Amino acid sequence: MKVVVTGGAGFIGAHLTRALLAAGAEVVVLDDLSTGAVANLAGLPVRLVVGSITDRATVEQACLGADSIVHLAARPSVERSLLDPMATHAVNATGTLTVLDVAQRDETHVVVVSSSSVYGAGGTLPRVEASPCRPRSPYAASKLAAEGYALGYRAGFGLPVLAVRLFNVFGPYQSMGHAYAAVIPAFIEAALAGRSLTVHGDGHQTRDFTYVSGVAGLLCDAALRRLSHPDPVNIAFGTQTELLTVVRELERIFGRALPVRHDEPRSGDVRDSQAATATMRALFPDADGVDLATALEATVAWYTERGLTPTHSVPAARSADTAHPADSSRSAHPAETADTEPPGSDSR
């Protein structure tokens, strides 16, 4: 079975690619490497197409003969979308439409990866998929538009599509050391560097933190089974953890107190987030998450083993089979095929 992973050189994509290969799939990765890295695919027998999801010819080249596409590529970050809404829309909405339209030509199955940020603020917890969506940022609005296109292609063309909403995914390969880093790698980076951990707000805001291995496993299963559903599906395990609880767990792991600096809440952030899991468990009856303490221990170990402090990053490598379309170096947007940073994960 041939599976294309857009954004496959990024955080979640690196895990998904390994899960697909372990299941015996042939994997093609489409990524512009603006936030992903060839090093994340080092030693893996994948074909890497470097280019933008907004370029139809590149998408057609990557997806030729595919049985399924897992569409992770996005322009991430709530904060970033507030600075440049048009660029966020171009990638997350129009880019998704391009992927779906290419898939429709060959009746290729598509998993469209969306975000819990589409729910916005207010309402009751846990978030049920039928809850009203009130996006609080251009990022959230663009992901809701992507979902709408996916389900519209399912209803209008009969395209086999699954739209999933991710909640605060974290783990190895997640980027750190930049302005838009998600909260857990930002905390770990600060702890490794001996700096204060920055919390935006009082720290009692809650998130449904989800370890990346479980997410990658479910996305892999969905692609291999060509799973389709008429409505969006939450992918999380229904937990609700305060940011200050994460700080305390990291203090236990590091074996020392970690100073915290509180800043003002950020525009577009959601106060609380938690997934309802009934639909996911019906579609994936064997789904099982990893407890927060174990997942944080594994994540900290991965960063520290690689010396990933603010002055170090994963070294570049080019051992993947790489195809460079003629226009791949002239991407119109610098993060067009960046791997998805899950929704509220950049709230802290």
Catalytic site positions:
139
**CA 154 to CA 4: how far, in whole Å?**
19
CA 126 to chain centre: 20
Q: How far apart are CA 39 and CA 208, in angstroms?
A: 29
- Residue 5 gets which letter from DSSP? E
**Closest of 169, 160, 173 to residue 69, by C-alpha:** 160
The Cα 227–Cα 233 span in angstroms is 11
First to last CA, the chain: 40
Reported in sequence order, the residue ranges of 84-200 that DSSP labels E, i.e. its strands, are 109-115, 161-166, 169-170, 197-200
Task: Report the distance separating Cα 331 and Cα 87, nearest Å.
Answer: 12
User: How many Å apart are CA 7 and CA 300, to the nearest integer?
Assistant: 24
**Residues 205, 121, 335: CA angle, nearest 5 degrees:** 85
Locate 85 and state its tokens. 């809404």
Residue 270 has φ and ψ, to the nearest 5°, of: -100, 140
